Amino acid sequence: MSRLLGRARSSFYHGKNSIRLKTKDGAETTLADLCKSTLPPCRLSPFLFNGHLQTMWTVVKTEAVPIYYKRKVFEQEDPVYPGSFAVDFVTKPYNGSDAKLPPRTSHYTDSEFANIGSDDSKPMLVALHGLSGGSYELYLRVVLAPLVTEEGGFEACVVNSRGCANSEITTPVLFNARATWDIRQTVKWLRKTFPNRPLYGVGFSLGANILTNYLGEEGASCELKAAVALSCPWSLDVSNLALQRTWIGLNVYARAMGTNLKKLYEKHKDSILRISAIDPAEVEKVRFLHEFDRAIQCPTWGYPTEQAYYRDASSTDSILAIRIPFLAISAEDDPIVASEAIPRQEFLQTPYGVLCTTSLGGHLSWFELRKGGRWVARATTAFFQKVAREVDFEHYSRNHPLPEGLIRREEREPLRPWFDPMRRKMHLPET
């Protein structure tokens, strides 16, 4: 009955010793209690009563969310990942846009960008979009919109994956599910350019996987104050096999994602095919997501199979290395991310993370009946405004007690076994 009424069940997973946060009024709370008290009840449209309907509604749902961007193209400074990438900064509305870019987007002029720096202390959100998407995606704009208003108080920017959102690929180095190098450089640049701004992160779908991996790689040195992952695929190998298990999973979702990636390839194939290991004839046969990854990602990054790539790029283990307040929101009926891929046990082991699962919601959807809005936008806004306005990060410690399995190697007794959540199988060139 609750499903027919659109009443989603919300469940929370977190460690018993959830980190304690001091508030600016001198009080104290835990991350778990903050999330539970801040996220609104999940009441969705009764007409979209399962994950397929919720997800497919994103294709037909249109909404006026006129966010304007100015783009800056950066050159990657790390020689291991050469090439350019585009970052779109949310700006005030303006007249005119670049016809070669997505709607309401234009390039910064040299003089505009030279004066972008500021000493203000406005909170700033760094966003990562989903697979083959970009800053123009509606699911992303509805989350940014309430935060970047004058009342919301946030500034924001979107790191576009290489080749996405009408950006160019200038070298054969592509994005993948663990492509953390561009957000890393962006965050370092933001910290230098806006020295007083507290930085926050939000990731959508594949962008959530990249963000989670980035947070794990940075650990206690992370420049972000807090982050949110929405509809993260987590265990890519598990979700991939689940997609192929059903007709609709393979022929609707996996085919749609494969088609979008193949369009991206067609647009940039002159650059991509400079990798001699890629066989153009095999790419032409691609229909589904896993076939694209087999034909493109495997030879690009040296993986023998797409499943090896998925296992190595998954973000489940990265959760255990995160050392900032981290909220993840996933729907149990997500048709793209299998419920069995959601890492409930991992969140029970870390004091730094809280996982909220909803029984309804689909993939990046969570459509409500009221005004046709999305619950996830209200939930994300509530969380970020709560931590930005009330949490005292000046007196926040990243050295909270950890479960035995997460204690770092150098802190253990000699000859004791230990688990390294960030150990990868793909070895990158040393520079």
Show which residues are catalytic.
205, 334, 363
- Could you write out the DSSP letters of every residue in 277-334? T--HHHHHT--SHHHHIIIIIHHHHT-SSHHHHHHHH--TGGGGG--S-EEEEEETT-
For residue 318, which amino acid is it?
A: S
**Token duo for residue 339:** 């419920």
Strand 68-75 and strand 124-128: the pairing is unpaired
Q: Which of 163, 134, 131 is nearest to 363 (CA)?
A: 131
**Token duo for residue 284:** 């032409």
Query: Residues 307, 236: contact at Cβ < 8 Å?
Result: no
CA–CA separation, 399 vs 15, rounded Å?
15
CA–CA separation, 232 vs 212, rounded Å?
9
Q: Which of 228, 206, 210, 211 is nearest to 382 (CA)?
A: 228
CA–CA separation, 30 vs 34, rounded Å?
6
CA–CA separation, 311 vs 305, rounded Å?
10
**Token duo for residue 267:** 């647009």
Q: In which element (H, E) is residue 408 found?
A: none
Q: Which of 35, 64, 52, 36 is nearest to 384 (CA)?
A: 35
